[in-house]
Every structure is written in C-alpha cells, then in structure tokens.
Structure 1
C-alpha cells in the first residue's frame, strides 16, 4: 500500500502524543525526532525533511499548543496542514485551451509507464466528456507505436501514427491537423523516452514543445524509484519547464519519498497518480486527502467519488430494502458483490477508512479474502436461477450440493458453509428489522414516563 511504512510510524508517534494530557517542549522534540526518522526512512529528500521539521516544530512549540486542553490534537492538525502544504496544498487541474485543441505532452524516461499512462489519461478525460486523440511520437523504442495502438484499441480511443521513419516533430504537427479534422478536442502526445537523460532526448522534446506549444508538459515518473524520481523531475523541469508530474506505481510504493519531495524540489505540482495496472487506475492527486490517509484520518471524499459512478444507487436501495423484508436471496447477494468489486481491491478501500492503521492488517492476507469472494461467486454461479432465488432447495438436497460443488471446483463442506453464513446473515437482518419496528413504536411506550 502507498505510504505504508511512513503512515504506520507517523500514526504511532501521533498516538503517543494523543495519550498525554499535557505536552512539554521535550515531548515535541522527541516526537519531531521520530517524525524526522520516519520521513528519511521513507526516502524523502533530506533538505525537504529538514525544512518540514523546522516548520512543524516552530508551530508546535508555541504556547497555544503547549497550553491547549487538547495539545495532541493541535499537533496532529499542524502536521496534517504541513504535509498537505508539502505536497502542493490543493489539487492542480489540467489547463485546458480556452479555444481550440488542448495539447498534453507526456515526457519521461523509459520504464516509467508513460505509454500506458497516455491511455489512462485519455480514458479519464473521455469520462469528463472530452474527445481525446492519442499520438504515437516515440519512433525509437521497438514496438512503442504498436503498444500505444493496442492501448487505444483496448479503451476505444483513436491513435494517430505515421510509422517510425517520420520525424517526431512532423508527426506531432500532422496530429494537430488530424485532430481538427476529426473534432478531437484533446491531443495526448506519447513522446520518446530514454534509459537515462541525455542532450539528444532533450533537444527533440524542446523541438516538439516549440512546434505545437502544448498546454501542459506532464512528466511521468516511477514513484518506486524514490530520490531518483525527484532527480529526474528536477532535470526535466530545468530543460523543459514542465507544468506538472504524474506519479506511476504509487500503489506499490510503501515509502512515498517521491510524492513528498517532488513539489518542494521542483515547485511543480503532482497532477495525477497511477494506482494499479487497470486502465481506470488513475486518480487526480489531492494533497489534503493524501495527507489524511497518511495520518490515518481516512479519505471519505475519494471513497464517495469512487462509489458514485461505480454503484447503481437505485439497485443499492432495492438490495437494502430486500434485505430488511427477508426477500434477499443469492441473486441479490451476487449483485451486491459485483457492486463492491467495482470499487477496486479491498486494500485500496480499507486505507480510505478513517482510523485505519496498516498495522491492523499485519498477518492478514487481503488477497486471500478476495480469493474467498471469488469462490463464493463461483458457487453462486453454479446454482440454477431457481436455486438462487430459493436457497432452501439446496439445503434440503445433498445431490444439489454435490452438483454445485463440482461445478464451482469446491467441496460440499464449502457449499454448506456458504449456506450457513447466508442463513445467519438473514437472521441478523430479521433482528435489525425487529429493532427498527421497536424504535418506530417507541421502546419506552409502555412505561408511563
């Protein structure tokens, strides 16, 4: 999980502060030492750490905090504010063209995930009612053009290509004309990367920039490379004056040093982050939300945003109503599972919940939980429609259980367990309905109060 190590250490430090009724300057100093070590271990740039600690210490050492009735909460508020400031303060939006076509130029080294990110960004923008065009301007890397075409076909977004014998500047110029002719209002250019920064690469990128004057130059960097990512960002910014950064593979970066250093070092915002391998695994970077996640304060806004397009509100209400009226069956259960799966992996959902601490999951294999859910889905899919709507048919028939077990690749015991769990769930909802009725009547109605 993103920031796992850092989040765990910072949350432990905060917990100690919250447990104290009063704080002394010695307490603050000790806490800041722990925060400093946590940030350095997370591969945050040393200068950034030093500046951050100085600002937090100065604010925490004032009489307002030390003499506060809730000093621990005051320190948390300050750390949260400074973490948010460190990562940019507020989200940075794409600078769309006021008239005509918006040109987004993606740059970066090989291996950062630039071509895939072009596709993710195009898909994200289409959901925002834009009409994007992908441009294959990497003529050097073997199969780079083909890769972009495959990505485009996967998400049903057009790709403009002129082969690997044409100059990239000519390709980009022609792509703008193609976009005008085909009513595409966003052009996303996949430029050539290199294994390392070199003058030849930079000159070509400068020529493309000069020829099409992009609205945004977005640097794609691999967050798992830590300080190297920050150094790459600094070099590209010095040569191209980038407008923002896209961090890839943030879901696999347990440290988070790049995300916490890039803004401070380059002065340029992180605009998007890649959080998985699927084409829709892209998120706008919200500094305040990320700071909340790191400190275990959750990220309910992002969870709601994920849920809104993924979950059918009408269907969710109907499922809730059926549960309370004892009409809930295996067809409903399967529908509920499919709605939950749209939100993404359990690990991503859990870290958005307030109060979450990664230590709580130590020893728990969430991938196992997801495998168990897949087994349940397979069992239900092996039932007939009549059996799904009337689970009691299965409970009373050993032959049905054997058929379902064979069809789903599980044991009869596992089928029995699912039936038992489902029965218990229905009993619980029955109790909930009974409590709901009691509360409507008034639990104390029979007493003469």
Structure 2
C-alpha cells in the first residue's frame, strides 16, 4: 500500500470519526491522494464527468425519490393502509401484519427504506400505539424491520447504484429482488405472529369482508404502479431510467388529479426536499467515483483477486466472509457508501470465483438493508426516532428478534442462489 493511499484512508477515517458527513470525508481524502501524488484536482473533475456521462442510469435515483415523496404527501398512503388493514388486520398481531404488508406494497413504489419508514411507517406506528395493544418500542421496531424490504422489491435505488458499479442489468436485478423481498416479509410476519401469541396481543376488530372490494377499488390506482413499472421494463416499453420518470409522473397524476390531494405549494416543497435528498446521494456518488479511480490506480481489486484465487477460496466461503464484513460495516456506514465504495473491491474476485453478479448484488443489498437497523448507526432507527420521538433505547430492545430472522433470510439467500436467480432465469437471464 502506497504512502498516498495511506494518507487518503487516514484522512477519510479521521474526518468520518470526528463526525463529518461521509461524502465530505471521501471527497477530502480523495483530494489529499491526488495532491500528494501530484495528479492535480483536474483529474477529479475528469473522473466525475466521465462517470456521470457514462452513468445515464443515475437519473433514475432522483426520479424514484420524487415518486416516493409524492406518494407520501398525498392520500395515497392512507388508501393503501386502509386496503392492508382490511386484508390482514383481522388476525392476531393484525396491525403488525398490516405494517409488513404495507411495506411490501409501498416498496413497489418508492425504492427507498427511509421513505417507507418516514412516510407510511409513521402513520402505522401511530395506529399501533393508539390501539393500546402494542408498545411504542415494538411498533417502531417492526416498522424499521419491514422498511428494509423497500429497496429489495423493485424499484430499488440501491440496486440502481449497484448496477452502475457492476455493469449488470437493472431489469434482472429488479426481478431478482422480488422473491427475496417476499421471503423477508414472510419471516417478519411469522415472527410477528409468534410474538403476538406469546405476549397475548389482542385481536383487532376486523373490517367487514363486504367492505374489502370498495377499499380495493380506492387503492387500485396506487396498486397499479408496480405493475406499470415492471411491464414498462420487462415488456421492452421503457428503459429502467424512463420507468423511473413514468413512476414520478404517474404518482403526480394520482396525487394531483385523480385523488386531488396535492396543492401547488405541497408540490414545490416535495421538489425541494427531493432535490436535497438527491444532492446528498449525489455527493456520495461523486466521492465514490473519485475513490474508485484511486482504488483502480493502486490495483487493489486485482491484488485482492490474485490473493484469494491463490488461496483457492471456495465461492461459498468467500460469500459468507464478505457478508460478515458487510454486516460489521453496516454498523457504522450507510448503504450508499458500502455499495459505491466497498462492493467494487470484491467484484473482480466474484468474477474469478464464478459467483453470479446478480446473486451477489441482491445478497449485498439485502445485507446493507439489514445494516440500516443495526445499532449503533442504524439509520432507520434514527429516522423513526426523529419522526415519532420514540426513544432509541425502546426500539433497540425490541429490534433484535427482527434482526435475527432477517439474518436467517439472508443466510438462505446465500446458501440457495436459486431463490434469487429463479425469476430472472424465467425471463431469459443466462447467469
């Protein structure tokens, strides 16, 4: 490892350690490397422009963010919740089931775990606590755990970022996330049922079945969004980036014209907030592009690949080791940083060992989502704390069982790649 790289990493970890935003830490560390190595700041500009011009797929990120914020602002979330309550609210632990099913449905619209937790999650936490059957900590914990499904079922902002660094098909990545997302929902609902019986949670008063068709009709236009997205991508009508634009436009039509729940002022606020969120992601992407250039200049991926192949590492052992590392990194780093900065280091080795990059990407994204609820960083815990004022301590005490079953689901995805690759293969994926 060269002196320049040591100074880069030292600066990065020092700034991150004293609380600087990770994007700034990466950018400053990268600039230190370029300055010490005598390459000049112009190299950073060239790398950024080359990365952005070749990364047309990045346009999908702000568009999905806009779509998610519009869905949260209108009455769309309320209509979806009414549908979910009628569907599964009649069982023991019903509102917990509603929480998970709502996340499964909303994940087909936002692609963002934070949007899920801050939007529809806040509403259902209030429903659970007002019912008097659930503690604040349990309501917040199951909300955080179910929000991790958001970026697994398409559309998915993290998978768009992974496609950027791995040059894999976004369409196949989206397809590959459907079964894992359903598996995560199933294990969370199973755990909720077990805890509900064990703690004796009361059964909610069920919505009469005769009202279900009406509630379904009210929610139907919103439920159409995932179908429109998937048909657009897999029917050859749109590219994934164009599908993101369609999603944002469809959400706007629903909220403003069909449901008449969005004013001009509210739309302006949504666009401003979406711009801020997109800029935050963009800073990390910019820093990651420069840092990846530095890593490539030092030939670190090649050295790692040569060392691991020389050790004759079994692909399964490699996958398990990488996922253990990602779980540890998830305690202190956000998912965007892990995907853009850490995962590129392992891609050459995956190719050498014959590990399918779609399988690796989905497993890595699931791992990163679990990291969102892992203390001490656990950004979803902080988001829910910010929007509900439920103390972090109460959430952390309740989060561990959900963390455990999600780890079991992750292990199943690692050991049985067909859970991830079956659906893409049905649609022609040759991997």
So what's the TM-score if we normalise by structure 2?
0.26
More helix by share: 2
Computing the radius of gyration over CA atoms, which structure comes out larger, 1 or 2? 1
Q: Per chain length, whose mean CA-contact separation is higher, i.e. which structure has more relative contact order (CA < 8 Å, sep 6+)?
A: 2
More strand by share: 1
So what's the TM-score if we normalise by structure 1?
0.25
